[in-house]
Structures are given as structure tokens and as C-alpha cells.
Structure 1
């Protein structure tokens, strides 16, 4: 069959032979099996990152999908700003390292909160280099036009300019992280790509109100119960579903890439 219903009784998957036959060779760089994102062949994994900020509960074959707040589940998070000339607002870009697998990386491109392109490699990530390995970028591209099947963006000048700009900022982010790491510990020769990482912040979604709650440092979200509710929150300020979600950090509070490596 075209779909695999037996490998995981709670998932719908695309078999590896079908996936290879339906993927055009020029659609993505050559990747090993371990570096192919699970969202490419698993409906459950795809739905977990389908929304930039999930607001509803998704069930597949009778089991709830554990959604991800991907822009806040990364390590060494830094925020950049893209200022295209054809729109008035500033477009935030979040960069950080994947804490689960360094082999799965690229730009997560959303449109009106909905995922259009996942793990799209740009700039230094396309070269034979360790620079950019493990780095995920998250951007909401409401200024672009998605294709009819919502699997890509129209290949316009706006799209090309956006990709070029994101690629440049990605390279600067990677160089800055390396510079800071070398400066803080000159004797450490282990590349940042090879180090074990934990998310800068821990977030969990309430199964009752669907709001996201930030947990204190040190709590492993992987060990939380299958169903989690606001009343389980260690923070008494956000222990009720009646309490509004913690507001997003303002631009002035967001960590930005100061590019100290250039100053140095």
C-alpha cells in the first residue's frame, strides 16, 4: 500500500521506498536516512509541528498528538529581525539548535501560523561544512504567497530575497555562537554541533484550555504525564486555566545577535 498503518498503530506513515520514489531529486540536498526529518514520512510527527503556535488538540488513530512549540524548544536561542522593503512590519526570525537530533536542521517556514516548508536548508547548510549543522530557524512568512497545495512558496523575487536574507543571518548566528563558546572556554575543542544540549526554556500545553505554560528550569518535559493540566504547574501564577497565557517577550527583551565576533 501507499501508506504504512502497521509500523506504528497510532500513526500513518509513508514507507521508505514510496517516499524515495515520490521525492524529486532536486527538491532537497542528499541526506542519509538518519537525517531525513520524521515529519517527512510520519503524519504524527508532521502534525506536531504543523502550527507555529498550536491552539487545538489533534488526534490520530485515537491517540493525541504531542504538539511542539518549536520556536521555544531550541538551545542557544537568538532572535533576528528581517526588514523587507515591501512590507512595513519587521519580521522576527528565531534561530537555535535542535536538542533532539543534530542531523535534522533547516528553516521552518510558516504562513499564518501554518507550516509550509519544513527543515529547508539555506546558505551554509547547503555546503560541505559543519557550519549550520543542527541549527533550526523559525520564520512566519505572511508576506509571501504559498502555492496551491501549501507545500511551498511561489518562487518570486520576494521569496528569493527572503531566502538570501535568512541565509545571511543564519551564517552570522553560527559564527557568533562559535565565537562566544571559544571565548568562554578556549580549551574546549569539542564543536558546538557535537555537544549535548537542553532547551533554553521548557513549555507544555494544557489539555483543557490549550494554553502554553512555561515550566521552571530543570523539569524534563519528556517525563511529564501524558495528560497535563494547568493545575499541575509548579508556578502558582499560571496554575489556572482562567489565567491568561504568559505574554510573549517584547523585542527589547528578546536575545538578539549582537555579532560580537565582528566587533572583535
Structure 2
């Protein structure tokens, strides 16, 4: 059996590393200790091909070092979920995460299955390679062509990929760190086999574009290093895939430093948890059980907030039960919507031409505030959560307690592991602005959750790392109480209550925050297209009213009047949320219709391809699928 018979995805060099006669090398089952790798001595290695062109070689140790970008095991699972979510545009309706057992030794394995379009023989080879990706759409999460390798190798030492493409071909690929280390290869080899549908017998036959010997060699090695000992047992894994889809089996799962499996399948039969909690949940404080803390240990909680929006027909199924999507923005009290336009290098901003450089931030108090010591912003990119509950205000006082925001920053560039953003000047501006936003909101609304009103012109103590120049100008005034004045006074007061923002950053505020007086018709403002109030349009009476207040000529309303105003605001917010729900339902219906049309088109394409295949087979011509 020649080594060159295997699929080499790291080099065009025909000569591989070592003889099969070397003694196997054992690897540690603990992920952070599995990087120790030795290869046998090589003799007569040729660095180039026959035409003397040199090629970069990729050592198997790179699989491990590349996977260390995921410090957190759930970060690896999120990458695999991203691939399934990206398949929504190809007809995917679900992704399932579950535990299975390897038939060879009965050990737990992680199983991820979706009903997307699947991969043909060329696509699965790009999936197994580094840096190759077809995801250039602004609607897809993946963009680097590295997610599958980092995520699968972070979760376990070995991964099998089964993919069926439009009922025409099915392929199996093995990415095995165990295989490479025990054979002591010094380049990455990936055994793969492909099958094509025989239209007359309706069965799948081996596809051998490079000859029977190469197919047999890859299949032999796959059966030797996978949990399936026969070809029939291997192909039986396609039974639950259906006409199209992809299934990934990750086995030889890593252990933590204590020798326990990193992924805990036993604590909750409907969840997968991180196995490093040192104390019982009963002894934890109350805020420990909030989603802001539970997502670090519970995959069900993390998956519920991982995507900002999902089509109603698409399901994330964890261990047999649907994950309920949780929109943090719809679970906030005294909710406001603020728009922010970043100021930065125009060339940098132009590079993100697909996205608007203006973002909308939802901000409010957690329903559990002030009983939970949680604050921060959930920052998404292309619908995917990058920074969960990033703390805007890092201080030991109660300032900012319970203040949470949600926004989608598509103009920022995430890191390769999608757990942070690149620390560019543009991100620094956003970071400073979110600190200001959180402190302003706290100062203006802390009384609503029982904290004392700040003194006149308070100096909000921000994080010591924040630059003074980044603070918002004219935003340190006392909140304006709501009154029974005219429409102009009410709208002016609402703008003063929010505070003025810098011209270079924020010039508008969404009216749906619910800060207008009861005499203001919110629906009328929306119908007339006036979604935002601009600071330059504040009426003179409101400005004068604001000035008189700081001259000491202002008297507060009775509490009963304020309560009446609050009741009106609550009703107005309910009406707006109802209208928003109707619009979202309309969007979901339109997306579903578009999806159905896309699936009909796919079905027609499949029928056309099958007819073309049958015609060529009748003519006796060979069909090239590559």
C-alpha cells in the first residue's frame, strides 16, 4: 500500500513522511497536553515536485496548535453550528447536536447533523483543507475556511464527516490526529472515499476518478482508524441523513486537567455542559443562575443566545429537544433604542461596503435588576454572538448594575475564533461609546429600579482606562421629569432626559424608547416618517424649560403625575412591541415563501441533473464529477 494513495491536503509532493513500520506514538488524552508530537527520521526527502516548484508543507502538529485558538470548548461547537446555519440558504431546516457512542469501544462521541445542501466530492475536500471557502455572502457567518478544522480538533482527536449532496453523490472524510501521530507522519493526510448514485439501480456505487487502488487504500485506512470496522457499517451512517445533508462524528473526546471528559453529558439528559464547575449550583449566588452566567457552562443556554435572529422554521435541536431562542433585547425593562454612527478611516469603513456603518443599540435593565450583579453588552456580527455580556463599566460600585445592551456590529472584524473583535481603532471608538452609553443610561434611569437619584451634575466614575475625551458632551444633566405640558415640551423633555450626544457620533434617538409624554402621539410620529428626534429640532420652549431648570426655577411633579406618565409609556411600548411582532411575522412569512421557492428550484435542478446523468449513461460516456 503506497502512502501516495491517500489524499494529501497539505502539499503536492508525492512522497510522504515515513514507513508504516515505525512504532506508534501515543498522545495525551488531555487537550492542552496533546501537542507533544514526534516524527520518525526521514531519509531522502524531496522538498519539491518534478518541475522543482517548492510547496509549503503542513505538519500534523498544526492541527493541535490551530485548535488552541478555542480556549473554550463551546467555541468549537459554535463553529460547527455556524456551518449548519449557513446552510439555511441551501434549504436547511434544522441542526441537531447529540451524544452517540462509538461501536468499536462504546465511548461517547459528539454528533452534529444538519439537513443542508450537503457537499459534493470537491466541496468536502475544500472543507478538509485550510483557507478554502465558498462563503463570500454577507449573510453567511463563516469567512475564513478554517472553522471545521479548529473546532473538530478542539473537541476531540478525530472527526468523521458524512455528506450527501442532492442525492447524487455521498462522501466520507476522516480527519484524525490519532492516525497521524500513531503513524508519525510529518504532513497532514486525510483519507476520503466518494460514491455516486446509479440511476438504474438507485444505489450508490464507488466513485474512483483516480483508480480502484487509491479508493481501496483510502477505505482501508478509514476503517482501520474510525469506529466502523466494515464498509457496510460505515455507509449505514447515511441512513438518517436523507436526500441531502451533513453529519459529523467527533470521537476520542478530550479530557480536562482533572482527567474528566471536558463535555459533560450526564448532569442533564437534555443538555451538554462544561465539566469544570467546582461547587454545587445550590451554593452559588442567585445571579449565577442567570443566562449571563449559565451560557459559560450550558450549551442549551449558549445556543439560545448564539444567534440574534433565526427563521421560525429553523430549529436547533439539542439532545432531542428544541432550543428555545432567547432575544435578550425583548427581555429588558425601560428599553431604549440608540443609533450610533462610528467615525473612522473612510478607507476602512469602505472595505465593509456590504454593511451599513450605522448600528442600533438596544439598552435597558434586566428584569432581575437590581438583584443581579450583571451588566454589559451582547455584541453580534452577521447575526452571530461574538462578545456575550461584555462589561462596559468595570468598577466596584453599583454604577451600571443591571444595565444590558444588545447590538450588531457588522462593520467590525471578528477574530478567527469568533470570540472577540480585532482591536482596531474603530473598535476602540465603539468601546468608548458603549461605556458612555451605559453610564448615561444608568444616571438617567437608576431611580426606576430603586437606586437613589444622583446629585446635581454628577461626575460618573467610568473605567479608569477610558479617555476623558471620549465622554459625551453635555450629558451630565439631571433627568427631566415628565409633565403635562404641550407636545413640544414633552418631546423636548424626552430629549433632555436622554442627554445630548456628540455630533461626530450620535445625532438621533429612536422614539420607541418610551420617553415621550402622554400628550405625544407616538403612532402619528411613526406614520409621518419621524422615527427620530434630532437635537437641532428641539423646540425653543423645551430648551428654555431645560435652562430654567438649571437656574433653580424648576419644581418637580407629584409622584402621582409621574406614575400616570409611566402608565401611558408602558401602554405605548406595548403597542409598539405588538406592531413590531406583526412586522417580524410578515418578514418570517416572506422568508418562508422564498425558502420554499428555493427548494422547488433545487428540486427542478436535481431532476434536470438526473436526466442529464441518465442521458450520458445511455450514451456510454463517463461522467466527471470534479
Unaligned 5+ segments in structure 1 are 19-31, 188-197, 203-213, 217-232, 246-264
Q: 2 CA distance for matches of 1:47 and 1:201?
A: 28
User: Is 2:441 aligned against 1:173?
Assistant: yes
User: Is 2:300 aligned against 1:41?
Assistant: no
Mapped contact 1:83–1:91 kept (Cα < 8 A): yes
Mapped contact 2:412–2:426 kept (Cα < 8 A): yes
SS across alignment from 2:386: strand
User: Is 2:341 aligned against 1:83?
Assistant: yes
Q: Deviations over 1:128-155 (max 9, x none)?
A: 1112111111111111110101011111
Mapped contact 1:54–1:69 kept (Cα < 8 A): no
Assess, with a 3 A threshold, how the Cα gap between structure 1 residues 186 and 177 changes in structure 2: closer, same or farther: farther
Q: Name segments (4+ residues, structure 1) moved above 3 Å.
A: 32-36, 86-89, 179-187, 241-245
Q: 1 CA distance for matches of 2:288 and 2:276?
A: 9
Higher relative contact order (CA 8 A, sep 6+): 1
Aligned partner (choices 370, 378, 381) of residue 111 of structure 1: 381
Q: Deviations over 1:201-235 (max 9, x none)?
A: 69xxxxxxxxxxx669xxxxxxxxxxxxxxxx9x9
SS across alignment from 1:118: strand
Residue equivalent to 1:64? 322
User: Is 2:272 aligned against 1:4?
Assistant: no
- In proportion to residue count, which structure has more helix? 2
Mapped contact 1:52–1:71 kept (Cα < 8 A): no
SS across alignment from 1:37: helix
Mapped contact 2:262–2:276 kept (Cα < 8 A): no
Q: 2 CA distance for matches of 1:33 and 1:244?
A: 37
CA RMSD of superposed structures (Å)? 3.6
Q: 1 CA distance for matches of 2:375 and 2:264?
A: 25
Residue equivalent to 1:52? 308
Assess, with a 3 A threshold, how the Cα gap between structure 1 residues 244 and 54 changes in structure 2: closer, same or farther: closer
Q: Deviations over 1:105-124 (max 9, x none)?
A: 3110100111001011013x
SS across alignment from 2:271: coil
Assess, with a 3 A threshold, how the Cα gap between structure 1 residues 165 and 59 changes in structure 2: closer, same or farther: same
**1:200-219 alignment, distance < 5 Å:** none
SS across alignment from 2:307: coil
Assess, with a 3 A threshold, how the Cα gap between structure 1 residues 152 and 243 changes in structure 2: closer, same or farther: closer
Q: 2 CA distance for matches of 1:103 and 1:180?
A: 16
State the 1:42 CA deviation. 0.7
Q: 1 CA distance for matches of 2:273 and 2:330?
A: 27
State the 1:95 CA deviation. 0.3
Mapped contact 1:37–1:119 kept (Cα < 8 A): no
Assess, with a 3 A threshold, how the Cα gap between structure 1 residues 242 and 153 changes in structure 2: closer, same or farther: closer
Mapped contact 2:375–2:392 kept (Cα < 8 A): no
Larger radius of gyration: 2
Residue equivalent to 1:156? 424
TM (normalized to structure 1)?
Answer: 0.61
SS across alignment from 1:40: coil
Assess, with a 3 A threshold, how the Cα gap between structure 1 residues 186 and 167 changes in structure 2: closer, same or farther: farther
Q: 2 CA distance for matches of 1:145 and 1:6?
A: 37
TM (normalized to structure 2)?
Answer: 0.28
SS across alignment from 1:169: helix
Unaligned 5+ segments in structure 2 are 1-260, 279-286, 350-355, 454-480, 483-556, 560-569, 593-626
